[in-house]
Structure 1
């Protein structure tokens, strides 16, 4: 109380915002039989295991008692963090001590490492959460975004085919629907890879030499591929909740890109449970979509957080308020409204909150040729040409900003620094 009176502590520091209060709807109740089907007594691998979604997937998977849980992650610190968190959970209960936890350093762009890992542990189920997710960052690093999100997904899926993995579940995003940015386009291309593979009984692998096969060699496909789309995750790294929380903590202002921008939201545990259930329902090639309720206006979310923090909004009607909202404008690649489906071919499932979208697909042979062209253009730094090419490959891709990639050839010619001079702009 003395700290409050002296101003050393503010009210919001002792009244943290509960993320569930921000969601504004009931979370989706999971079905236990679906959670256990692909996990209990099986070997499960999570790629991107140290990320927000990946780490929560690992926590939920551990509770369902797999035989072994393989954490596949390229960041040493993230891998260490999630491993220690899971070991702590194991030590807190005898129920989980029989589960083997294997922390494996590796990249999804390393086919040799992927195959070695999948075979070494005889993995049954893969949850592919590894991805670059931040729209503006990917806009500035287009080739790497495509290499990680699209090629990394394809490499991991092909490694699963070679290693005879039973199920492969891709964590996708609403930004893959009629994307206005390269991140969304890269995730839609990743979905298309799985859809193409799911329709084949045997395939010629993309970059087959990296998998130890000749280009003409056909590999049988016995893996069930599926994907699940959802919107933004409350509380994840890079989401608005931690950003707003910190802005409120320091007294504002809270920054919102546009007064009308909206997003679908769910909590991290809810997202992880959905991924597990969708994977269990799959027969191959489906895109599962959660009924996420109505989209939330980001400005309204900011106002709700200010109120939940015990503070008042500062605006024209209340100039003496505590926290102001400032609108900063849309960033490169951002759009006002997110969508979850392509087309109208949507059906229900046995789960009341999960729908299934059967969308247009590309033949695997055509997809491989298109992807070869995409990466050839990307390697040459022709990013305007690349975006035009993506428009022909990805249904509805319509970029809303100029090319801002740091490596764009035209940009380099305009802003080449003098010898010996560092130019950060």
Structure 2
């Protein structure tokens, strides 16, 4: 049957419809006569009108064809086409009345009014019947997708009306949060409450849901979509009219907000001329060059005009990304860019790179820094952060590197997690090398200036709270905060790197530079700011209709309520107001060698508890985290 339908040309289909319309005309006349109280039989009267019928049929058929009614597709037969059909029915009634008055038989005028109405109704009904027949044929040949429409407002009802004429989609029901609509029938479809979705889906064998609530905010839509997907349903959201005409993007994205907008102070922005002399005309190596800090160090170092910049990175993708970015900026600049794929824990590769490229300045930013991940995987974290620092720093001293600058963290101060402890051990290694080094003469550690710069969180870095909050907002929330009392120090990546380069340039050897990061920022308040900056409202007990909620999930293993920047309260001011110098106790060469030997043995045999005991023995202020606490 489907092949037969598809084989018919458009002209042939129009002729079939026209013949059907003309066939309905005498039937409508006969039915109209039956409804009238006539003195003679209906068949006798129809017989008397047979000589007039060819003229009525010819005129009616000609008008219908001229108006294009037979050529209107059944699926597109709507108000305008019904109006034209009414015009044809009126013409048929007037023609029959006129010819009957002239040639007989004489009939009452009311008969032709009834005839015209019946003819109109039969033509419309015939088309509705034909449409259902054709759709049934297509359904049998091509099974339709059964869909549930979420939203029974204007958009949802219009969507249902459109889909009813679709040959591949079968709308079966509505779901709506509006209690006044639940239980009603709209467009011939029942309206259910969201609580009955699982029941409706199972009974009606639904696999897809169309979300027809374009006026709903993006987070609220995301929450509904997530809930529906939990039922194993495919969900598609209908765009708003503004999106369809191009006034809004079909895919909404968070509006980028400058990281300094979330600082509780003015961001520091200093020119690099003051520190550029320590890097200009030199070969500079940046470890972890593809990370957040390492990539920004590499960008800003280009402005200092080194002769060569060595990008040392373990991640292939991160190295490729930063190398491609910087290569486009260096055309004609006369600066050689060298990408090196490898680990700082590999002594042979580290020595080969330093020797081959005659490296003069090392900025060591490579580290595993995500607290929960390192807490769960302590041995790889210790190996990378501690052994990698020792390997790179020792090789720097051996090959006469001028400056070695360790990028450290506030989590190294009285740490409660393995990541912070590993950074503190890295600091102890660098402090030990600095104590044995005399930049002005010969020493066991050479002439290298060893120093370190310690600071807190940087806004916008990978794994930091703002990108996490923005990702959670894009999914509809909630935004997760560990504890309402948690506070952190924050800097922008740009200002942190500027100050690292400045501190590294001022270093004489052995300093622990601490960056002035202002007052600590409440993470709960920061979450509110990020939600509002994205254009959404906070949802809480006072505002249940808000867009995004904040969920308190509890401190993760190793997290503190508030970080510290120094082990002592004694800070020395430097030439730059934002750079301070901490006076802290150091371990002796023998003590550093002892904990390194013990740590290497623990890592070699995979002894996690032994490694934690070594940290407890040698890292000042370390307190083991409660590992039973949830890690999410």
Query: Aligned partners of 1:102, 1:377: CA distance in 2, in Å?
Result: 35
RMSD: 2.2
Q: Size of the alignment, in residue pairs?
A: 386
Q: Does 1:190 align with 2:426?
A: yes
The Cα offsets for residues 376-421 of structure 1, whole Å up to 9 and x where unpaired, read as 13333332333222112001001221389xxxxxxxxxxxxxxxxx
Aligned to 2:380: 144
Query: Aligned partners of 2:244, 2:405: CA distance in 1, in Å?
Result: 49
Deviation at 1:5, TM superposition (A): 10
Higher relative contact order (CA 8 A, sep 6+): 1
Structure-2 change in CA distance of 1:362 and 1:317 (3 Å):
same
Q: Which deviates more, 7-16 or 246-255?
A: 7-16
Query: Aligned partners of 1:403, 1:102: CA distance in 2, in Å?
Result: 45
SS in 2 for 1:288: strand
Aligned to 1:69: 309
Query: Aligned partners of 1:14, 1:7: CA distance in 2, in Å?
Result: 17
Deviation at 1:186, TM superposition (A): 0.3
Aligned to 1:170: 406
Aligned to 1:23: 263
Query: Aligned partners of 1:9, 1:315: CA distance in 2, in Å?
Result: 29
Q: Does 1:256 align with 2:481?
A: yes
TM-score, with structure 1 as normaliser:
0.86
Structure-2 change in CA distance of 1:352 and 1:383 (3 Å):
same
Deviation at 1:4, TM superposition (A): 9.1
Deviation at 1:9, TM superposition (A): 5.6
Structure-2 change in CA distance of 1:288 and 1:5 (3 Å):
farther
Say if 1:314 and 1:325, in contact at 8 Å, map to a contact too. yes
Q: Paired residue for 1:271, among 496, 508, 526? A: 496
Aligned to 1:307: 532
Q: Which deviates more, 258-267 or 184-193?
A: 258-267
1:11-410 to structure 2, matched below 5 A, reads 13=253, 15-91=255-331, 94=332, 97-201=333-437, 219-402=444-627
Deviation at 1:31, TM superposition (A): 4.7
Query: Aligned partners of 1:321, 1:4: CA distance in 2, in Å?
Result: 26
Q: Which deviates more, 15-24 or 273-282?
A: 15-24
Gaps of 5+ in 1: 203-217, 405-425
Aligned to 2:39: none
Say if 1:66 and 1:99, in contact at 8 Å, map to a contact too. yes
Query: Aligned partners of 1:354, 1:366: CA distance in 2, in Å?
Result: 29
SS in 2 for 1:13: coil
Query: Aligned partners of 2:620, 2:271: CA distance in 1, in Å?
Result: 33
Deviation at 1:11, TM superposition (A): 11
Gaps of 5+ in 2: 1-240
Larger radius of gyration: 2
SS in 1 for 2:557: coil
Structure-2 change in CA distance of 1:37 and 1:100 (3 Å):
same
The Cα offsets for residues 99-126 of structure 1, whole Å up to 9 and x where unpaired, read as 1101111210111111111111111110
Deviation at 1:162, TM superposition (A): 1.1
